[in-house]
Amino acid sequence: MEHDPAVLAIDAGQTGIKVRRTRPDGGVHEAVLPGVRTDAPLVPQLATVVGEIALESGQPVSVVAAGVSGLTDAAADAAALLDLVGPAGVERVVLAHDSVTSFLGTLGDRRGAVVASGTGVVTLGVGTRRTARVDGWGHIMGDAGSGYWIGREGLDAAMRAYDGRGPATPLLDRLRDRWPDPTGAYIHLQSDPGRVHAVAAFARSVADLAADDPVAAGICRRAADELAHSVVTALDAVAEPDDADPPHVGAIGGVFGSVVVRARFEERMRDLRPDAEIATARGSGVDGAALLPGLGTGHALRVLVGSAQR
With respect to residue 21, please indicate whether it lies within any of the assigned structural domains. Answer: yes
Helices (H) and strands (E) in the chain, counts: 12, 11
With respect to residue 273, please indicate whether it lies within any of the assigned structural domains. Answer: yes
Amino acid at residue number 221:
R
251: confidence class by pLDDT, cuts 50, 70, 90: very high
The 306-309 sheet, strands edge to edge: 28-34, 16-22, 7-12, 63-68, 92-97, 306-309
In percent, how much of the chain has pLDDT > 90? 59
pLDDT tens profile 56-67: 766 667 889 999
Residues 277 and 288 occupy one common structural domain:
no
Q: What is the 3-state secondary structure (H, E, C) of 219-282?
A: HHHHHHHHHHHHHHHHHHHHCCCCCCCCCEEEEECHHHHCHHHHHHHHHHHHHHCCCCEECCCC
CATH number of 63's domain: 3.30.420.40
Amino acid at residue number 271:
D
Q: CA–CA distance from 240 to each of 24, 76, 112, 117, 235 (Å)?
A: 42, 29, 12, 26, 10
Mean pLDDT of 236-242: 91
Residues 142 and 63 occupy one common structural domain:
no
Residues 42 and 119 occupy one common structural domain:
no
In percent, how much of the chain has pLDDT > 70? 95
pLDDT at 40 over 90: no
Check residue 36 and give its pLDDT. Answer: 84
Higher-pLDDT residue of 102 and 167 is 167
The C-alpha atoms of residue 235 and residue 252 are separated, in whole angstroms, by 17
**Domain hosting residue 60, numbered range:** 7-98+284-309
With respect to residue 1, please indicate whether it lies within any of the assigned structural domains. Answer: no
Q: CA–CA distance from 1 to each of 153, 187, 222, 273, 292 (Å)?
A: 41, 50, 37, 29, 9
Q: Which of 79-93, 161-175, 225-239 has the lowest mean pLDDT?
A: 79-93
Averaged pLDDT score across all residues of the chain: 90
Q: Model-level pTM? A: 0.85
With respect to residue 217, please indicate whether it lies within any of the assigned structural domains. Answer: yes
Residue 302's SS3 state is helix
Mean pLDDT of 192-201: 93
With respect to residue 231, please indicate whether it lies within any of the assigned structural domains. Answer: yes
Continuous segment of H or E residues that includes residue 308: strand 306-309
pLDDT tens profile 157-186: 999 999 999 999 999 999 999 999 999 999
Higher-pLDDT residue of 174 and 54 is 174
Residues 262 and 150 occupy one common structural domain:
yes
Residues 123 and 211 occupy one common structural domain:
yes
Residues 142 and 210 occupy one common structural domain:
yes
Residues 179 and 258 occupy one common structural domain:
yes
Residues 29 and 178 occupy one common structural domain:
no
Check residue 188 and give its pLDDT. Answer: 95
With respect to residue 2, please indicate whether it lies within any of the assigned structural domains. Answer: no
DSSP 42: H
Amino acid at residue number 167:
P
7: confidence class by pLDDT, cuts 50, 70, 90: confident
Q: CA–CA distance from 144 to each of 30, 78, 117, 123, 297 (Å)?
A: 31, 29, 9, 11, 32
How many structural domains is the chain composed of? 2
Residues 223 and 261 occupy one common structural domain:
yes
Smallest CA-to-CA distance from 253 within 116, 67, 115, 107 is with 116
Smallest CA-to-CA distance from 295 within 145, 103, 69, 70 is with 103
Check residue 33 and give its pLDDT. Answer: 87
The C-alpha atoms of residue 223 and residue 228 are separated, in whole angstroms, by 9
pLDDT at 22 over 80: no
Check residue 175 and give its pLDDT. Answer: 98
With respect to residue 104, please indicate whether it lies within any of the assigned structural domains. Answer: no
Check residue 160 and give its pLDDT. Answer: 98
Residues 245 and 162 occupy one common structural domain:
yes
Burial of 18 (0-12, 13-18, 19+ CB in 10 A): buried
Residues 114 and 254 occupy one common structural domain:
yes
Residues 185 and 266 occupy one common structural domain:
yes
With respect to residue 224, please indicate whether it lies within any of the assigned structural domains. Answer: yes
8 Å CB contact between 239 and 226: no
pLDDT at 270 over 80: yes
